[in-house]
Amino acid sequence: MKGKMKYIISVLSIILVVANSSNVFAAETSAGVSAEQIISIDAGKPTLETGKTLEEVLGIQNARATSMPNQTWDWSKGKYSGDFEISYEYSYTKYNFSGYSQYYVDTKAERDKWTAASNNYTVYLMKGSGQGTIVTSYSFNSKDWKMVRFYNLDPGTKYAVCFSKANDGSTLSGMFYIYP
């Protein structure tokens, strides 16, 4: 009887561990984005925008009090999450982040009204101070959750994310998660 009881306890323990492991894994994934849907961007490969400011790329003459964040996110607090609402061209995250060679950005956004730009928006990976310079970027046309993986980054550099849209009279509202 003792042997059967030990066997049952062992089997139940294994089932419990496996079930809890699955739950932890599911919590670490993006909201409904599978591994096959992750958009991977090699930040080590320069683009036409690399090293330029948003003013240079977007043709903005007067930025609206937006600049690179001065505060650094503490990764011991977990994922960095937030929301944004953009009426003009762009908005930076409140925190910068460093310490890792890759970052995932999960995002979902939608406009308040129809425009010719539809639900187009761009996620810029930025570095530097002031307005910062573009490391790389990715553009979406979707209201669904999307995940971008920026990799081949310098762990010693402070990065920030900037969300951008066309200045078309609409407001883009969204949310995001950033994590290594």
Q: Name the CATH code of domain 38-179 (choices 1.20.120, 3.30.70, 2.60.120, 3.40.50).
A: 2.60.120
- Higher confidence at residue 35 or residue 16? 35
Q: Is 156 helix (H, G, I), strand (E, B) or coil?
A: coil
* Local confidence band at 126 (pLDDT 50, 70, 90 cut-offs): very high
The full set of domain ranges for the chain reads 1-30, 38-179
Q: E strands, the chain, where?
A: 39-42, 71-72, 80-86, 90-92, 95-96, 102-111, 120-127, 133-141, 146-151, 159-164, 172-179
Q: Is 116 helix (H, G, I), strand (E, B) or coil?
A: coil
Reported as a single tens digit per residue, the pLDDT across 27-51 is 344 556 677 788 888 888 888 888 8
**pTM, rounded to two decimals:** 0.75
Q: Is 136 exposed, middle or buried (0-12, 13-18, 19+ CB in 10 A)?
A: buried
